[in-house]
Amino acid sequence: MLRRLSVVVLLLFACHTSARRHDAPAQRVVSLLPSFTEILFAIGAGDRIVGRTQWCDYPLAALEIPSVGDGLPPNIEAVMARRPDLVVLYNAGPNVTAAKQLERAGIQTVLIDLNRLEDLGPAARTLGRLTGLEQRAESLATAMDSLSLDRPRPPSTASLAFVVWDNPPIIIGHGSYLDQLAAQAGARNVFGDIAAPSAQVSLETIVARDPQWIAVLSDSGTAPAFARRREWRAVRAVRDGHFLLLAGSLFGRPGPRSGEAIRQLRALLTRNVVGAQHAAPLHEAPRR
């Protein structure tokens, strides 16, 4: 679980892109982040992916592609064994080193970081240019750009706190993609005043902020283990069973499905806020 957390947290940091220019469109791509894999499929380059991380599980066709491991950092030998002409990496320290190794071996690399909604369009355009699929990439990028345009946001119907780790508690702040999803869905992140994408806080601080809902990334659809611990029951939302269980494969990665994540969270909040006024405590995950 800690390894999966590292993937989620790494997705929530600042955006940077760098690539060495090559003339021919890439035909054999190793994608080392789930978001990149989804974008490549969405622009029509899915059949060019020859390697993926074990976390790349969408679309289903991605599971047929050989895995090269975690991707953070990459297994250089496994990546090179796929004979790629382009490797797409998340821009983190170990990956920068790996990119230099791959470039020295004559393999084109690109370092892309996806943090916020406004980073989606540029990422799609970069991958479109490198694969020679600029027109389809531009269409996708335009659609994703619209998610981050300044527009009136729906009024806040609920307050929530994203808890991505429980001991010590780590929450999501304003600098994150998840904070944007909450705002677009009509929720107020009670830690939205924290500029960082994520931060460690005390349990007492969560109690004091008193969110109506605790949002967690949970592919299992079950309430987190900390919900049963006595100290966490000091949080009213935990005590009342007010959990929003969000599928990590949808909500934990910026990509072509970000609009769907916003729609699902908005529907889930609307249903649960109304239901909480008339029903017993609930735990509910969005239908996929």
Residue 284 has pLDDT above 50, yes or no: no
Task: Specify whether 176 is located in the same domain as 142.
Answer: no
| pLDDT tens by residue, 190-214 | 999 999 999 999 999 999 999 999 9
| pLDDT tens by residue, 3-42 | 554 444 444 443 344 444 457 999 999 999 999 999 999 9
Under 8 Å CB-to-CB from 232, ≥6 apart: which residues?
A: 166, 203, 226, 238
Of 148, 169, 201, which one is at a domain's C-terminal end?
Answer: 148
Residue 259 has pLDDT above 80, yes or no: yes
Task: Specify whether 47 is located in the same domain as 135.
Answer: yes
CA atoms of 247 and 16, how far apart (whole Å): 26
Question: Is the residue at 98 inside a domain?
Answer: yes
* In contact, 244 and 215? CB cutoff 8 Å: yes
Task: Specify whether 177 is located in the same domain as 143.
Answer: no
> How many other CB atoms sit within 10 Å of the CB of residue 286?
19
Domain of residue 191: give its range: 158-284
| pLDDT tens by residue, 154-190 | 677 799 999 999 999 999 999 999 999 999 999 999 9
* In contact, 229 and 200? CB cutoff 8 Å: no
What token pair was written down for 150?
A: 């300044």
* In contact, 62 and 41? CB cutoff 8 Å: yes
Of 124, 148, 172, which one is at a domain's C-terminal end?
Answer: 148
| Side-chain half-sphere CA neighbours of 186 within 13 A | 15
Task: Specify whether 44 is located in the same domain as 126.
Answer: yes
Question: Is the residue at 2 inside a domain?
Answer: no
DSSP tally for the chain: helices H, then strands E: 11, 12
* In contact, 157 and 269? CB cutoff 8 Å: yes
- Output the domain CATH number for residue 129: 3.40.50.1980
Question: Is the residue at 153 inside a domain?
Answer: no
CA atoms of 164 and 167, how far apart (whole Å): 10
Query: Quick one: pLDDT at residue 275?
Result: 54
Over range 113-121, report the average pLDDT. Answer: 90
Question: Is the residue at 223 inside a domain?
Answer: yes
Residue 223 has pLDDT above 60, yes or no: yes
Query: Computed from CA positions of residues 214, 220, 222, 223, in that sequence, does the dihedral angle turn out positive or negative?
Result: negative
Report which residue type is found at 158.
A
Of 117, 148, 179, which one is at a domain's C-terminal end?
Answer: 148
Number of domains in the chain: 2
CA atoms of 92 and 173, how far apart (whole Å): 20
CA atoms of 278 and 275, how far apart (whole Å): 5
12-21, 26-35, 83-92, 229-238: least confident range: 12-21
Under 8 Å CB-to-CB from 117, ≥6 apart: which residues?
A: 144, 147, 148, 177, 180, 184, 254, 258
For 61-129, the DSSP string reads GGGGSPB----SS--HHHHHHT--SEEEEE-SHHHHHHHHHHHHTT-EEEEE---SGGGHHHHHHHHHH
Task: Specify whether 127 is located in the same domain as 235.
Answer: no
Query: Quick one: pLDDT at residue 271?
Result: 83
> How many residues are given for the chain?
288
CA angle centred on 285, ends 279 and 287, rounded to 5°: 110
Question: Is the residue at 251 inside a domain?
Answer: yes
For the entire predicted model, the pTM comes to: 0.85
| pLDDT tens by residue, 127-159 | 999 999 999 999 999 999 998 765 566 677 799
pLDDT-derived band of residue 72, with 50, 70 and 90 as boundaries? confident
* In contact, 253 and 11? CB cutoff 8 Å: yes
Question: Is the residue at 3 inside a domain?
Answer: no
Task: Specify whether 121 is located in the same domain as 165.
Answer: no
